[in-house]
Every structure is written in C-alpha cells, then in structure tokens.
Amino acid sequence: MTSAAATIDPATGRCLPAPSDTQKPSLIGMTRAELGEALAEVGVPNRQIGMRAGQLWHWVYVRGASDFDQMSNVSKDLRQSLGERYSLAAPQVVSEQVSADGTRKWLLRFPARGAGRPVEIETVYIPEAGRGTLCVSSQVGCTLTCSFCHTGTQMLVRNLTAAELVGQILLARQRLGDFPDADTPAGAIVPGTGRLVSNVVMMGMGEPLFNFDNVKQALLIASDGEGLSLSKRRITLSTSGVVPMIARTGAEIGCMLAISLHAVRDELRDELVPINKKWPLAELLAACRTYPGLSNAKRITFEYVMLKGVNDSLAEAKELVRLLKGIPAKINLIPFNPWPGSPHECSDWQTIERFADVVNRAGYASPIRTPRGRDIFAACGQLKSTSERLRKTQRMQGQAAQAATTGPV
C-alpha cells in the first residue's frame, strides 16, 4: 500500500488539504436553471443567460475547470463577479490511499451546513481492465443497520448535497488526470469508453434512496450529454430496498438498479437487512418486476453477500433462483469483507463456487465479485469508521516519528 500524495501533518497524521473556499455556494451540482439564477444574480442580462450557463457547464463538466480564471472565453469582469460570490472548489482531500491492487480511496471533507460540523466521507475508485468504476457515497453514515456492514454502525449525520455528490466525481476525474482535453482550445466530450472513470456506482456510504432528490439531481448532471456525459447504463444505484422509491428511480433517473438482497427468506432478511421488516421480500420483488425500462438488455443486479453458515446453503441458492424467476437479473455474489468486531465470517471459496454453479445453471450470470482494496479498507461495506482507525494509526505513527526526531539527544 502506498499512501497520500499530499503532505502529511506529523502531529495529526492527516494530509494537509489544499486550501479551498468553503464559505461561498458552489456552482457545482446546480441544475441549468439554478445556474441561470446564479448568473442573473451577478448581473448577466436575461438574453445572455442560456449562452453563459452553457459556457460554465462546458468548463466545469467537459474541461474539469476548478477555477473561474481558466474560463478563457468568459469576460474577465464576469469571472471576477462569479468568483466573488460563488465557488467551483473541489472537495477537500483529507487523505488519499492507493491499494496494492490499484484501488484508490479518498477521505473527503465537506464544510459544515447550518449548525452542523464539517463532515467526512469516502469515495473509492476501482480500476479494471477496460473500465474504471467510481463508488460514490450518498450520505454521511446510514440510518440503517445491516448486520454485515460497517457503515451501518455509524449513525446518520446528514445527507450529501447534489454539489457534494457531483463533487466526488469531479474530484476523482481531476485527481486521476481524467480530463485529458482540459487544455485544448476546443475541449471535447470524452467518450465513455476512453475514460478512467467510465462507470459510477452509488454503493458507497449511505442509502441513496433516502436522499432521493439530491441523488437524482447529481445523476442527471452526471449523465447530461453536454457535460460529464456518462451513459445511464454505466450508472448503477444500489438500494437496500426502499420500495416506494424504486419506480421513481427508474422513471426519473433511468439508471441501472442494484438490490442488496442477501437473503431469500423474510425471517433471515429481517435480521441481515432490517429495512425488510418495513418492505418485505414480496413487495421488494414486485417493485423490481415493474422497474421502468427493465429488459434483458437492462437487467437488475441482485447483490448477495456470502456469509458463512448464514445464507450460503445450496437450498438458499435454489430458492434464490425460484424467487427471481421472470426478472431479467444478474446475481452478484460478494465475498463478505470483514471489519473489526463484525459478527460474520466469509463463506469458504468452495461454498461460494457451488452456490454460483446453481445460479449459473439456472441461466443467470453470477459473477463472484473479487474483493478490491481490502488492504486500505476500501472494499464493500468497509467504509468510514475504518478511516478513523487508520487515522488513529497514522496519528500514532506521526507522534512516534516526531518523538524520534525531537526526542532527547
């Protein structure tokens, strides 16, 4: 594992974040209409607003501009008045870690809102052959308490805003050098296939469907054809099963859907994914069957975490196949990623393969998800509190290093 591109403060073990303007509202994450209002506020005449909003959109989402001064076709006066009132600042990077397998995890800090405190969340980048997936967080913590998920041990602090959601994508692309056209005179939309961040999954911290409005706004910006231009087929939203919001996800966002299923009986799912008590399997699967846009070319992914002796029997594999009958689906088997104090163990590899065989033979693609970034606690379900643990370790290392250099001679 290599760690942190930025300078580390030895006293705290934290990266020293690049200064950013946290007081001004950000233009990132605004809809075009909101951007128009912001332009009107700085005195742009009505007839110019559409054109100016288009210019800003292009600079931010196609070129990756993070400073008004980069906007060479915008007048100096307008750049100045925008800069006085608004910000384009990317989220502050508290730490950046790179796993031995190339997975990257950023701990990001967002300013306080209202009477709250500044908050921190994690965003993970997973490079694979031919594609790169960004795992975006939707909330700070989670209200739900799935027994196998580390994030579930964190209380919900707050929802992330659309600016903070889109900011995770922009930050990742900026850090990875994924705005290759930024400096060419025209700047062009990079096709999805040629990018480092080619896919986005809402599978980080939090339940995205409990933050629907902001997630919707952010994903519509991410898929806007004149901006970030990610195909909706390359955006997947994962939910633990917030049934009333599933149809709206398909109709209003139109992205791919993933369901954290993890059990095939209500009794067990009530325990593993407690939201099941409110919306049990029958209701969840009924919502899946009618997901807008569902077809063989646009299948739902069912995530199934493999927990030793809990949900990994062959009888359960057969029941899974029976339950999903008629739903265009793929089944993603996720080896359980352990975290300190977790009450579960990962199923044996052989058990996972046998389970996968049953599902495969029934005609479903059932890839076993290779755990990525476990060494930096970036794998599914390991996010957030492990950062605190790592920071504590770093702090101790920092203190030890300081003692070594300032200790008695």
Report the alpha-carbon distance of residue 295 to residue 8 in Å, rounded: 49
Residues that bind ligand SAH (CB under 6 A): 146, 148-149, 203, 207, 238-240, 260, 303, 305, 334, 336-337, 380-381
Q: Is residue 122 involved in binding ligand SF4 (CB under 6 A)? A: no
Q: Which stretch binds ligand SF4 (CB under 6 A): 31-39, 93-101, 139-147, 189-197?
A: 139-147
Q: Is residue 240 involved in binding ligand SF4 (CB under 6 A)? A: yes
81 binding partner (options ligand SAH, ligand SF4, none; Cβ < 5 to 8 Å by kind): none
Can you list the alpha helix ranges (DSSP code H) found in 324-384?
349-361
Judged by beta carbon, residue 66 or residue 260, the one nearer ligand SF4 is: 260
User: What strands, in cross-sheet order, belong to the sheet with 131-135?
Assistant: 2-3, 92-98, 104-110, 119-128, 131-135, 199-202, 235-239, 256-260, 300-306, 329-335
Six-digit token pair at 294?
């569902």
Residue 298: which of 221, 235, 244, 360 has the closest Cα? 235
Judged by beta carbon, residue 99 or residue 151, the one nearer ligand SF4 is: 151
Residue in the block written with tokens 């400096």: 183
305 binding partner (options ligand SF4, ligand SAH, none; Cβ < 5 to 8 Å by kind): ligand SAH
Six-digit token pair at 163?
């600016």
Q: Is residue 144 involved in binding ligand SF4 (CB under 6 A)? A: yes
Q: Is residue 246 involved in binding ligand SF4 (CB under 6 A)? A: no
Q: Which stretch binds ligand SF4 (CB under 6 A): 147-155, 172-180, 288-296, 329-337?
A: 147-155
Judged by beta carbon, residue 106 or residue 336, the one nearer ligand SAH is: 336
Count CB atoms within 10 A of the CB of residue 184.
Answer: 9
DSSP 347: P
334 binding partner (options ligand SAH, ligand SF4, none; Cβ < 5 to 8 Å by kind): ligand SAH
Report the alpha-carbon distance of residue 379 to residue 376 in Å, rounded: 8
Judged by beta carbon, residue 134 or residue 170, the one nearer ligand SF4 is: 134
Smallest distance, ligand SAH to C-beta of residue 303, A: 4
Smallest distance, ligand SAH to C-beta of residue 133, A: 12
Q: Is residue 197 involved in binding ligand SF4 (CB under 6 A)? A: no
Smallest distance, ligand SAH to C-beta of residue 85, A: 35
Smallest distance, ligand SAH to C-beta of residue 392, A: 20
Judged by beta carbon, residue 34 or residue 271, the one nearer ligand SAH is: 271
Report the alpha-carbon distance of residue 306 to residue 319 in Å, rounded: 15
Say whether 122 is catalytic.
Answer: yes
Q: Is residue 146 involved in binding ligand SF4 (CB under 6 A)? A: yes
Report the alpha-carbon distance of residue 11 to residue 401 in Å, rounded: 9
Residue 30: which of 177, 227, 196, 201 has the closest Cα? 227
Q: Is residue 152 involved in binding ligand SF4 (CB under 6 A)? A: yes
Say whether 37 is catalytic.
Answer: no
Report the alpha-carbon distance of residue 242 to residue 238 in Å, rounded: 10
149, with CB counted inside 10 A (0-12, 13-18, 19+), is: buried
Q: From the candidates 135, 146, 288, 380, give the one annotated as an active-site residue.
A: 380
Residue in the block written with tokens 């602090």: 157
Q: From the candidates 15, 96, 120, 122, give the one annotated as an active-site residue.
A: 122
Smallest distance, ligand SF4 to C-beta of residue 149, A: 3
Pairing of strands 300-306, 329-335: parallel
Residues that bind ligand SF4 (CB under 6 A): 142, 144-146, 149, 151-152, 206-207, 240, 260
Q: Please give the positions annotated as active site.
A: 122, 380
